[in-house]
Structures are given as structure tokens and as C-alpha cells.
Amino acid sequence: MKIAFAQLNYIIGDFSGNTDKIIKVIKHYGNQADIIVFSELSICGYYPMDLLEREDFILAQSQSLEVIQTTTANIKAAVIIGGIDNNSEQGKPCYNACFIYHQGQEIFKYHKQLLPTYNIFDESRHFAIGKLSPIWQYQGKRFGFLICEDAWNHQAPYLYDTNPVADLMAQNLDAIISLHASPANEGKYQQRLQRFSQIAKDCHSPLIYVNQVGGNDELIFDGNSFVLSAQGELIQQLPAFKTSADMIDLSHAHSTISSEFATLSPIEIYYSQLLLGLSDYVSKCGFQGVVIGSSGGIDSAVTIALASLALGADKVTAITMPSPYSSQGSVNDSQALADNLGIKLYHRSIKAEYELAIQQFEQTFGQSASKLTHENIQARIRGRILMEYSNHFGYLLLSTGNKSETSVGYTTLYGDMNGGLNILGDLYKMEVYAIAKYINQISGKIIIPENIITKAPSAELSTGQKDQDSLPDYPVLDAILRLYIEQDLLEPDDIQANQQMIQQSDFTDIDTIINKVDKAEFKRRQSPPILRVHARSFGIGRRLPIAQNYQSHRYFEI
């Protein structure tokens, strides 16, 4: 039995483009393979959100499925594809489904049984719970089906009344076919391998896991589709973060392989993930390029470098906007970075505009502006200038705040928070430094100047200002934040490492940091979308009320 499987990069709602990609694979493998497998919701892209409530969206998807069904009329293979099926009974109007087409006919379909509604997922908002049998008989073989969450009942059994994996265990299957739209995050790949290896062993069956690839809004799908033997051993795998397809003959597949992806460090994975997420966001949204404010600091430098590597230097513009408090070193560092990358850098002083704004404030309101007002006026002038460039040239403005600063509100609304996308917003500060060093390492030369990496971080909005004037050292701050924001999703070793980082420091005012995180919720609600790399990111993966008066208690041990 020869099975082809494809991980493709879909655009949500681009039925014509998605269908063309799928048909190209079908035509290539149609008379070589017995079965061709695509990923979950492949025809419409994952996740369509409330587009699923539009009748014309469902109709357009059905028309594309008909085109694919017709394409199978003259090929040998049966085609398995994820899509939306109408629900004619009481309940939500549609199902998350997979369809099987063979020789121009629909011969089987299955509806997803477990609908995740937590963290970044919201499927029960739109889909009905599936009740169809997952068992398909074809060419004398028995196949069992899972669609993504169907395989994960074990991690939260209290959420669901059924266990699709348990239902497959006594079915004497020849193979399990599992369709996914599984976004990447820290540790997810290892969790997948462990989980699906156990499923293959429990069901005594080979398993074909097919994921999608590419970025859609905050989510970045890593592909990494694989095939496991009945003993749960890895026997074939597609590459990470790349469109790819391959074929395997299950009757002759016995040799195990090792996963190169499993040996990568989190920083190496984040690097590839962010490049793909940014390039897809820009291309899928139709922007001509990106513009970034260059402060000479680590965050803007890493943002600029990643943008140049993802899009090409010709599609990246940087603007340095020194104020009276900017050091000449920061301006020089911005120029050195631009020269190293070969990008265009504009110099525009904000000194005169800043002084005029302060003068007009005092004339209008009859008193001197506070220190905070002085600082934020500078950030907002810069934000306005960047948006002027974005409006005129059609470039996407990238904001540059990291997760540590965004957590505690160390950002300025309508200033450095301006932008249509934030690619560092799910990286803690020390991870930003690690990415900078990694970029220099793999480039074989200095891209990000050493002075940017080694100097004390500062917003340079007042005389002698340093980030650590109001925050603990970043390694300690990051440890506190990881425990407060993500502890329930961390591995025990990670929890212990963060606890030790705090214990070894002399910082004790942890409750003040927690209070800063809670109070900054109103800012984060107004942030641009953030590319997600951790299990819990700000945005759709963490939803808290703004108007509330609950005093958070420290619920982690130091």
C-alpha cells in the first residue's frame, strides 16, 4: 500500500489558490500512490474563525471540493482531504470533516469528534461534534481516522465524553491516518512524537500524521509531517517549515530514522518559525515591504535583521529618530546594522518636534509636563513618523516590543506599540539576545553589532535612563514572568530552572511584577498581532478582562 502525504501552505479563504496547490499534488502522485493524504481543513485553511458563519464561504468551499472530486475521476489513488461538511441536524451548522474521493465519487467521510476550545482554539464556537464511524475499508485494508484533537483526549479527559483513540485500539487496523492543523510552539514537536508513538503502539498500527505548514496571523504551522511504524518508531518525515510531499510504501517501510528537528534548540526553532511567520504575513496580506524604527537597541536590531533575512534587504526600510536623549552611539549602531544588512536607513531627528510639543503642552495646560509625559511624547512622535511612512509607501510597520517588556507594560501606546505585526512579542528578553547571537553565528560574520548586544538596555527617553532602573535584571524578570504566565504549561525541569534563577538573585518584590503584568492588560489588548512561539502567548491564547478588580496572588512557588 503506497500512501502519499503532503504538507502545503494554505491561505485562509483562498479556495482557488488552495485548490490549485492540492490538484498539483494529486496529479503528481495520482497514478503512483494508492492513497493521497492532505491536512485538516486544507481546502479553506486553518482557522477561518467567523468566516465559517457565512453561507457564501461554505458554498465556495463546497465548489472547490467538487473540483477536487472531479479531478480524481481519472487517477488511481483515493484522495483524503480536510474540509467543512454541512450539518443538517440540530446544533452547530457544520462539521470539521475529512472526505475521501475515488474515481470521481465521494466514498467516505469522517467528522472530528473532539473540538478544542481553549488557549488558541475555538472550534466548538463553530462546529458540531462528529458521530460518524472513523473506520474505512479500502482495498482489503482497514484504516482508522483521527482529526487533530481527536488524538489528545488523554491530556484533558474531563473536557470530553469520548475517547477516539480508545475506540480505535480494538479495531485491528492496517493504518491510522491523522489529519492536523497543529501550530508550532515550544516543545510541541516532542509532545507530538511521544503522543503519536504511544497511539501507534497501543493500536498496533502504522500511523500517518499530516500537518500543514505556513503562517496564518499569529499561528505558524511547522509541517513536520511523519510516518510511524506499528512499534511507534519514526520511519519517514517531511521537513520543518517547508512545503513538501512524499510517498511511502507501508508494506516495505521498516527502517527507522532519527529526527533532525528533535535535536534543534528552541532558539534555532524560533528563528525558522519567525522567518516563515513574517514572510507569510507580509505576502498573504499583500504588503510591499516593512518599515521599522531603529533605536540602536537589541529589540529593533533583531527585528530588522529577521525582516531582512525573511523578506530580502530591498523590502526593509529602517528609520532612526534621535531625540535630545539619544546617544550618538545608538545612532552609529543603527547605521552599522543597516550597512551590515544592506538595507535603507533614514535619519530623522525629532528634537525640534519634541521641544515644540513640550512648549505647546505648557502653553495649553498651564503647567510643566511630567517626566512620563516627556518620555511618551518622544515615543509617539516616532510612532507617527513610522505610520506616515507606512501610509505613503504601503509598507507594514513592525513594532519591536519583546514579551518581557510587553508583560509589564514597558511600552508606549500609540508610540513604540504602533504597528501591524510584532514578531518579537512572544520572545522573552533573554531569548531576543540569544536570537541576535544566533544570527551572527549562522551568518559567519557580525550582522548585529556587538555593542548592541553588550550595552545596557535603555529606552533613552530621559537622561541616564536604563531598563533596570525600574525592572529587575532581565534573566530574573524572565523567570518570574514564565512562572506567572506559563507555569501550568511548562515541563518540571523548566519550572525548576526558573525557580532557581529567582532564588539565586537578590530580587524579592515579585508581587510588584505580578501587579505590573495585570495592570498592563489594557495596553496588550491594543497591541498588534504577535507571532506565537510559546505555548501561551499574548493575544488569542490568553484572554483576560481589562475592567476587573481581582488582585492576583502568586500561585507559583519560589
Euclidean distance between CA atoms 197 and 177, whole angstroms: 13
Cβ proximity of 112 and 130 under 8 Å: yes
Q: How confident is the model at residue 158 (pLDDT cuts 50, 70, 90)?
A: confident
Output DSSP code: residue 464.
T
> Mean pLDDT lowest for which of 158-172, 329-343, 467-481?
467-481
464: pLDDT strictly greater than 80: no
> Mean pLDDT lowest for which of 77-86, 225-234, 482-491?
482-491
392: pLDDT strictly greater than 70: yes
Q: How confident is the model at residue 73 (pLDDT cuts 50, 70, 90)?
A: very high
Euclidean distance between CA atoms 330 and 298, whole angstroms: 10
**List of domains in the chain:** 2-264 (3.60.110.10), 268-468 (3.40.50.620)
pLDDT confidence of residue 90: 86
Contacts of 380 (CB under 8 A, 6+ apart): 412, 414, 415
Give the dihedral sign, CA 310/313/314/319: positive
Q: What is the mean pLDDT of residues 22-32?
A: 97
Q: How confident is the model at residue 253 (pLDDT cuts 50, 70, 90)?
A: confident
> Mean pLDDT lowest for which of 296-310, 365-379, 420-434, 538-552?
538-552
159: pLDDT strictly greater than 90: no
| 159-163, 258-262, 435-439 — most confident range | 435-439
286: pLDDT strictly greater than 90: yes
- Per-residue HEC secondary structure of 90-159 comes to CCCCEEEEEEEEECCEEEEEEECCCCCCCCCCCHHHCECCCCCCCEEEECCEEEEEEEHHHHCHHHCHHH
Pick the residue with more confidence: 223 or 88? 223
Q: What is the mean pLDDT of residues 62-82?
A: 97
459: pLDDT strictly greater than 90: no
Q: What is the mean pLDDT of residues 530-547?
A: 92
Cα distances (angstroms) measured from residue 254 to each of 178, 193, 206, 550: 20, 18, 10, 57
Q: What is the mean pLDDT of residues 82-100?
A: 95
Euclidean distance between CA atoms 502 and 228, whole angstroms: 41
pTM above 0.75, yes or no: yes
Pick the residue with more confidence: 457 or 3? 3
pLDDT confidence of residue 251: 87
558: pLDDT strictly greater than 80: no
pLDDT confidence of residue 247: 97
Q: What is the mean pLDDT of residues 58-81?
A: 97
Q: Concatenated DSSP letters for 261-305?
A: GGGS-HHHHHHHHHHHHHHHHHHHHT-S-EEEE--SSHHHHHHHH
pLDDT confidence of residue 267: 97
Pick the residue with more confidence: 549 or 315? 315
List 44, 98, 148, 203, catalytic entry:
148
Neighbours of 167 (CB within 10 A): 15
Q: What is the mean pLDDT of residues 147-156?
A: 88
Q: What is the mean pLDDT of residues 433-457?
A: 94
pLDDT confidence of residue 466: 63
Cβ proximity of 542 and 470 under 8 Å: no
* Residue 148: active-site member: yes
- Average pLDDT of the chain? 94
What percentage of the chain has pLDDT greater than the value 90?
86
pLDDT confidence of residue 64: 97
261: pLDDT strictly greater than 70: yes
* Residue 112: active-site member: yes
557: pLDDT strictly greater than 80: no
List 40, 149, 353, 405, catalytic entry:
40
553: pLDDT strictly greater than 90: no
pLDDT in tens, 171-182: 999 999 999 999
Q: What is the mean pLDDT of residues 315-334?
A: 92
User: What are the strands of the beta sheet with 175-179, ordered from one edge?
Assistant: 135-138, 141-147, 175-179, 207-210, 226-228, 234-237
List 21, 44, 94, 112, catalytic entry:
112
